[in-house]
Amino acid sequence: MEPIQEPAVETIQRPNSPVNGRPESLSPAASYAELARENAQLRHERDLLQTVIDSLPDPIFAKDIAELTRAKKTSSAELQRRTIELSRDRLLLRTLIDNLPDCIYAKDTAGRKILANPADLKNLRCKTEAEAIGKTDFDLFPREMAEKFWADDQKVIGGEPVIDREEFLPGEGGHKVWLLTSKLPLRDQSGQLAGLIGIGRNITKQKEAEARLAYEQRLFRQLLEALPENIYFKDRESRFVRVSHSKAESTLQTVRERYQAAHPEVAPDAWPAHLTSVKLFADWLIGKTDFDTFSETHARMAHEDEQEIIRSGKSITGKLQKVEYPGRTAAWWLSTKMPWRDAEGNIIGTFGTSLNVTQLKQVEEELNRERILLRTLIDRLPDAIYVKDAAGRFILNNVVHARRRGLNSPEEMKGKTDFDFFPKAVAEQFAADEQKIIQTGEPVINQEQCVPAGEHSSEMRWTAVSKVIWRDDAGDILGTIGITHDIHEFKVAQEALRASEAKLRESATRLERSNRELQDFAYVASHDLQEPLRKIVVFGDRLREKAASRLDPETLDYLERMQKAASRMQNLINDLLTFSRVTTKAQPFVPVHLSKLAGEVIEDLEGRIEMTSGRVEPGALPVIDGEPVQLRQLLQNLIGNALKFRRPDVPPVVKIEARTWSGIPPRVEAKAGPQELCELTVSDNGIGFDEKYLDRIFNVFQRLHTRNEYEGTGMGLAIARKIVLYHGGEITAKSVPGQGAAFIVTLPVKQPKTPNNESKL
C-alpha cells in the first residue's frame, strides 16, 4: 500500500491583472481573505486524514500505520507551524489596516461590507465593525448618494477601477467630509471577482485650505481691480509680474500720451492693440519694465530703488515723488516698495504701491498758504492772540502777545503759563476762568479786565478778553483760544466822554430852558409889539389923509418911509409868530389832502399870479398825515418864493409834483425798517441860486438878495424847514443860477400820533 503523502499546502497566489497598464498588487483585504481560506482548507485535510486512518482495522498494516502516524505527526506539525505563521501575519495585517489613517473597506459583489477599518467606521458613524458587516451603502447613506456609490462599484467590478477621485460624504453638523478615493476589484485565489477593495484618504483639511486659498485669490484679484492705489509686483530684473487695474489704467494714459507725441500722424483707431483697452494693456505690461513706459529719468530712479531693495532687503516707505508728464500738469505720487519673498523667505522681486496724491498735495499747499496767511494775519493784528492747552500752557502766541509780556519772540512763551507773567492772584483768576470754560463750554466774550501791564509792573491797563473752548475734529477738548484787546485808551476816553456827556446834558438842559424862554419871549414880544405898530400904521394913515395937503414933500417922504418901516416890522413880527407857533401852537396830525391844500394856496396867490402873468401847475398830490395849517404855510412859502424870485420879463411857471415810494424816513435809524414816503417838489423857472449857499438859505433872516431887489424878511424858508422837520422830514434844493430852482420836501405818509418833540428839530 502506498504511504499516504503529506498533503500539499497551497501558497497564496497574487493575480497579475493589469490596472492602468501596471501589475495589480494584492490589497491588504485580499491577503486577509486568502489566508482565511487557506487555513480552512488545511483543517479540512487534516480531519479527512484522521478519519481515513481511524477506519483501517487490519493490523497487518501496523508498519504502514506507524509510518502513516509519523507522516501525520509531521504533517500536523507543519500545519501547526503554518497556522501560527498565518495567524501572526493575519494579526499583523489587521493591525496595520486598523491603524492606518485612511479609510479601508471591502465589499462583496452584492455591495455588502465584508471589511471596514476604524477610519471607515467613523465615516459610516458605526461604533463596531459588526454594525457595518453585511450592510450596503443603501443602509448607510442617503439613497441618492448610495445609488451613485453602487454605480461606481459596478464599474469597478466590471474592470474600471477608480483612482484618486475626490468625493465627499455627509459629516457631522452638515459639514462635508472630503475623501480622495481609489477602488480596485477584489479577486479570490482562483482569480474570480469576489467584490472590491476601497481606500479613501481624508482630504477635508486640504479642501478647506484650497477653499481658503481660492477665497484669498479671489479677494486679491478683487482688490487689485478695485483699489485706487497702483499695485504691482516685479521680479528681480524689475519686470512686471502682476499689476492692479489702477496701475494699468494710469500707466496706459502715460504710454498713450508718449505714443501720441511720437506719432502725431496716427489716428487713435490705428494705435497698437495694447493701447486700446486697460485689459489688453495690463496683459501687454507683464514682462515689461518702467523703461518701456516712462521717461529715462523716472525709470532709472525706480530701477535703482528696486535693486537696492533686493540687495539690502529694506523697504522704502512713503516716498513722495513729483512726476512730470509731457503736455499736462505734473502729478504727485506717494510710493511704498518692499521686498517680495517666496515661502522660504528668499527675495524673488519687489512689491510696490503708489497713490496719486496730487489733490492732497494741492490741498496741503493750499492749507500751507492759508496757514501762512493766518499766521501773518495773527501776527499783524493789534490784539494779543494765544492758544492754551487744557493745563493752561501756551502753545501758540502772536507777536503782540509776546511783546506785551516783554518777550522778543512768540516761541519764548511756548510751554509757559500765566503764572510766569502775572502776579499769582491774577494768574489764578485767569486759570479759574479757563477751567470754567472747559467744564461748561460757555465762552467769555469781551470781558473787561484791569490787570497789571507785567509781572513786576505797577501800571494797570484795561483790556477786553474773549476766550472760547478749543476742540479737535472729533470734538474732544484740547484747551482754550483767547483774544485780548487793549482798551485802555478807550476806557480813558470813555471816562472823559462820560464827563463831557454830563456837561453836555447840563448844557442841553440850560439850552432847552433858554429856547423855551426865547420862544416865550419871542411870542410875547411879537404879540406886545403888534399894538404899538398897529397904532403907528393907523395914525400914519390918518396923518396922510388929513394933513397931506399941508405937508411939504420932504415931510411926506419921511411919513412914507415911516409907514413902510412899520409895515416891514409888522411882517417880521408876523413871521416870528409863525416861526414860534410851529411847535408851540401845533395841532395833532390828521390826514391832509395836498391837492386840495395846494388849490386853496393858489387861490390866495391869484392876485400875484395875475400881476406877474405867471401860472402854477399842480400835479396829482397824495393824502398824507400832517398839521393842516403848517402844511398850508409850507406850500404858500414855497409857491410864493417861486413867484417872487422870477426873471425880468419872463412869466413865472411853477410846477408842483409828488411821488410816493418805500424807504427809510429821514433822521430815522435803518433798523426801524422802511415805510411809505412822499416826495413833494416845487420847481420854477426863476432866477435860481448858487448851490454853495444851500445850507444858508434855510437859516433865519438869511437873504441872498437886497431888500430893494426882492422884498421879504428872510424867514420864509426857515419857517418851511421848521415845518418839515416837525413832520419828521427833510427839505433840500437844487438850482443853477438863471435856470430856476427846485425845492424837494420828503415827508412820511403816515405819522405817529404824537408829533415830533421840539428838541429834535
Under 8 Å between Cβ of 631 and 594: yes
User: Of 17 and 527, which is predicted with more confidence?
Assistant: 527
Worst-scoring range by mean pLDDT, 147-151, 463-467, 557-561, 718-722?
A: 557-561
SS3 of 189, please?
coil
Quote the pLDDT of residue 701.
61
Q: How confident is the model at residue 6 (pLDDT cuts 50, 70, 90)?
A: very low
Worst-scoring range by mean pLDDT, 169-178, 658-667, 684-693, 705-714?
A: 705-714
What integer is the mean pLDDT of 568-575? 61
**What would the grid cell of residue 283 be?**
496683459
Q: How far apart are CA 430 and CA 415, in angstroms?
A: 16
pLDDT exceeds cutoff 50 at 27: no
Quote the pLDDT of residue 756.
55
What integer is the mean pLDDT of 485-499? 82
Q: What are the distances in angstroms from CA 335 to CA 69, 318, 320, 443, 600?
A: 98, 5, 6, 45, 94
Query: What percent of the chain clears pLDDT 70, i.e. is strictly above it?
Result: 79
- H/E stretch holding 183: strand 176-187
Q: Report strand pairing: 18-19 vs 162-170.
A: unpaired
Contacts of 212 (CB under 8 A, 6+ apart): none
**Which one of 266-275, 582-591, 712-721 scores highest in mean pLDDT?**
266-275
Q: How confident is the model at residue 581 (pLDDT cuts 50, 70, 90)?
A: low
Quote the pLDDT of residue 718.
84
Encode pLDDT of 627-645 as tens digits.
Answer: 888 898 889 889 988 888 8
**What would the grid cell of residue 362 be?**
494741492
Worst-scoring range by mean pLDDT, 100-109, 341-350, 442-451, 749-758?
A: 749-758
Quote the pLDDT of residue 622.
94
HEC letters along 432-477:
HHHHHHHHHCCCEEEEEEEEECCCCCCCEEEEEEEEEEEECCCCCE
Helix axes 204-226, 245-262, angle to 10 degrees: 40
Encode pLDDT of 214-248 as tens digits.
Answer: 888 888 888 888 888 899 999 999 999 999 999 99
Worst-scoring range by mean pLDDT, 337-351, 425-439, 489-503, 602-616?
A: 489-503
Q: How far apart are CA 488 and CA 383, in angstroms?
A: 13
SS3 of 615, please?
strand
Worst-scoring range by mean pLDDT, 6-10, 76-80, 737-741?
A: 6-10
Worst-scoring range by mean pLDDT, 162-166, 513-517, 641-645, 690-694?
A: 513-517
Under 8 Å between Cβ of 157 and 195: yes
Task: Write the single-letter amino acid at 624.
Answer: I
101 DSSP 8-state letter: S
Strand locations in 342-458, DSSP E? Answer: 347-356, 384-389, 394-397, 444-452
Q: How confident is the model at residue 679 (pLDDT cuts 50, 70, 90)?
A: very high
What integer is the mean pLDDT of 493-510? 81
pLDDT exceeds cutoff 50 at 2: no
User: Of 201 and 665, which is predicted with more confidence?
Assistant: 201
**Which one of 2-6, 29-33, 242-246, 569-573 scores highest in mean pLDDT?**
242-246
pLDDT exceeds cutoff 60 at 548: yes
Q: How far apart are CA 397 and CA 384, in angstroms?
A: 8
